[in-house]
Structure 1
Amino acid sequence: MAAATVLGIGLGGFIDGIVLHQILQWHEMLSNKIPATTYIGKSVNMFWDGIFHAFTLLVTITGVILLWKLLRRKDINRSGNLLAGGMLFGWGLFNLLEGIADHQLLKLHNVREITPDKQLWNLGFLGLSILFIVVGLLISKRRKGEDFESTHKST
């Protein structure tokens, strides 16, 4: 599950950066410290968003390499459940650690900078992260060919 988790961390970071930073523009890497309201503020934030994306690219490439190395082995679980669950777990783990570090401890940015209750968005993000982790673990534990109903029947 480690390779899928690493891949999920990298892809989760990309999703965060692309959706929250670039498309929705809810925040940028340092937008709580250096508001992106001037040309210089926007440039500084864009630079650090780029550093963040470079990091997520390296993590994603590492995850792909780890998966590729595993495919040579005959004794591994090739379940799509393990891959999908591990990736969802990694995405949730990334969000949880990033949310605690950047939103709570370092206060670099909030999930949404322009809102009356920034902390509510930050806590919702952490809650969603925990949900991803739990669902990822549940999916990864399912065996190939099992469906939800057959594993959770009450007798």
Structure 2
Amino acid sequence: MSVKTKRKLIVIGSFILGFGFLGAMDGIMFHQILQWHSVVMDTDRTGQIMSDGIFHFATTITLVAGGVILWLAGNPTDLSKGVRLLVGYFMIGGGTFNLIEGIINHHILEIHRVRPDAANPLMYDLAFLASGVILIVVGLLIKRGRRTTPTTITG
């Protein structure tokens, strides 16, 4: 496999894995543990369970797809900055999930809020979007890496 192909598989696989991981964390934390919301709130409990089940199934498929692509890519340490690519794009994928899910479900479709029972639900929605931006920025910084200049040791 060429270096270019390996690099592309690591980028795509880690992005998809990060996207699926943050989706799974959203479902586990907000839907199940905290029980703040379901994917579709304006329905009965059976509808909420069904919408959450479909969501969890989709995140599981996403996680498996990302894992398979990374498995096909092989060891990221075989590439220069391969681990940086893997971790950086994982974070970028996760942040992208938060932005897409937050903008579409919370603001455009308005099918749920992060915490609809809060005194100020908009603050929770904005914090969710901010966490997506932070993850993307951190991912970009990790991917880019720190530029180092050689130091001269004088004795």
Is the TM-score greater than 0.5? Answer: yes
What code does the residue aligned with 1:113 have? P
Distance 1:138 1:67, change over 3 A: same
- Number of aligned pairs? 139
Equivalent positions of 1:9-88 (< 5 A) are 9-31=19-41, 33-34=42-43, 41-71=44-74, 76-77=79-80, 79-88=82-91
Q: Alpha-carbon deviation of 1:88?
A: 1.1
Query: Retained in 2: the 8 A contact 1:102–1:108?
Result: yes
Equivalent position to 1:107, from 105, 110, 119: 110
Distance 1:57 1:78, change over 3 A: farther
Higher-Rg member (1/2): 2
The whole-number CA distance in structure 1 between the counterparts of 2:80 and 2:13 is 12
Structure 2 regions of 5+ residues with no counterpart?
1-10, 150-155
Normalising by structure 1, report the TM-score.
Answer: 0.82
Q: Show the counterpart of 1:118.
A: 121
Distance 1:116 1:74, change over 3 A: closer
SS at 2:118 equivalent: coil
Normalising by structure 2, report the TM-score.
Answer: 0.82
Q: Percent of counterpart pairs with the same letter? A: 37
The whole-number CA distance in structure 1 between the counterparts of 2:114 and 2:16 is 23
Q: Alpha-carbon deviation of 1:29?
A: 0.8
Q: Alpha-carbon deviation of 1:77?
A: 4.5
Q: Alpha-carbon deviation of 1:79?
A: 3.1
Distance 1:117 1:90, change over 3 A: same
Q: CA RMSD in A?
A: 2.2
